Amino acid sequence: MPFDPPQRDQTLRDTTSQVLHRLGVGKPEDKVTFGALLDALGERSFGLLLIVLALPNCIPFPGVPGVSFATGMAILYISIQLILARDEPSFPDWVGRKSFTRGQLTRFIRKTTPLLRWLEKPIRPRLSAMVAGPGERIIGLVALIHAITLALPIPMGNLPQGIALILLALALIELDGLMAIVGYLASIAAVAWLGAVVFGLGKIATTIFT
């Protein structure tokens, strides 16, 4: 069964969680390629991809090593394109041909929908200068910083960064400048938390080995 992208006006009108839910509709055994997923996300693909990649860092995936590194590298790639003001994200052909089952996508969406719906409640278009033009590039720069730190093997540092990325992505999708400000504050808190964790681990290591 082909993976048909939603119509553009529907994509713009629906909430992020509704768009993601629609992607999982179909037979569980159907194959979905990454390229088809990008087409289905439409004009909001930058923000939606950031959310899809940030969510695994908010929800534990036991037995799956290297999740934060893999998602961090993907977010790095996307954030560079945001900084360069690309109209839509692009990936090498071999990435676009990668596939997974619709059932796997549906299970992931079900796990993440409650968090997304909670975050979506206060969002509406406002202060658009914060998320358009230079504002969009600044979001890309902040996302790049999170991408690098997510890829580092630092324990207990993923959740705050994942939430900050989701807030920034939702701001980008819905053109909500106030949410962008909240995302920046969350990013500052996430980096501060990460610094505290690294400092604490350093103190513990110094105590043990001296």
What is the percentage of the chain residues whose pLDDT exceeds 70?
87
Q: Domain range for residue 48?
A: 8-209
- Predicted TM-score of the model (pTM): 0.75
The band of 61, judged by pLDDT with boundaries at 50, 70 and 90, is low
Is residue 126 within 8 A of residue 177, CB to CB? The reply is yes
| pLDDT of 35 | 75
First to last CA, the chain: 63
Which tokens is 3 given? 């993976």
Please indicate, yes or no, if residue 3 is contained in any of the structural domains.
Answer: no
Total tally of structural domains belonging to the chain? 1
Q: For the segment 5-41, what is each residue's pLDDT rounded down to a tens digit?
A: 444 344 445 777 777 777 777 788 888 777 777 777 6
> Is 14 or 106 the better-scoring residue by pLDDT?
106
Structural domain contains residue 16 = yes
Side chain identity, residue 58: C
Minimum mean pLDDT range among 18-32, 65-79, 165-179: 18-32
Beta bridge partner(s), residue 176: 126
Whether 1 is covered by a domain: the verdict is no
**Residue 58: φ, ψ to 5°:** -100, -25
182 found inside a domain: yes
Instruction: Count CB atoms within 10 A of the CB of residue 151.
Output: 18
Q: CA distances (Å), 135 to each of 104, 139, 157, in order? A: 34, 6, 26
Asked if the model's pLDDT at residue 177 lies above 60, the reply is yes
User: Any idea what the Cα angle at residue 154 is, between residues 64 and 162, rounded to 5°?
Assistant: 70
Mean pLDDT confidence for 142-156: 86
Please report the sign of the dihedral spanned by the C-alpha atoms of residue 6, residue 9, residue 12, residue 18.
negative
Instruction: Please indicate, yes or no, if residue 156 is contained in any of the structural domains.
Output: yes
In a domain, 58, yes or no: yes
Position 57 in a domain: yes
Pinpoint the alpha helices (H) of the chain.
8-13, 16-23, 34-41, 45-54, 67-83, 93-96, 102-120, 134-151, 158-174, 177-209
pLDDT per residue as tens digits for the range 107-142: 877 877 887 788 778 888 888 889 888 999 999 999
Task: Give the separation between CA 133 and CA 196, rounded to whole angstroms.
Answer: 33
For residue 2, is it within any domain? no
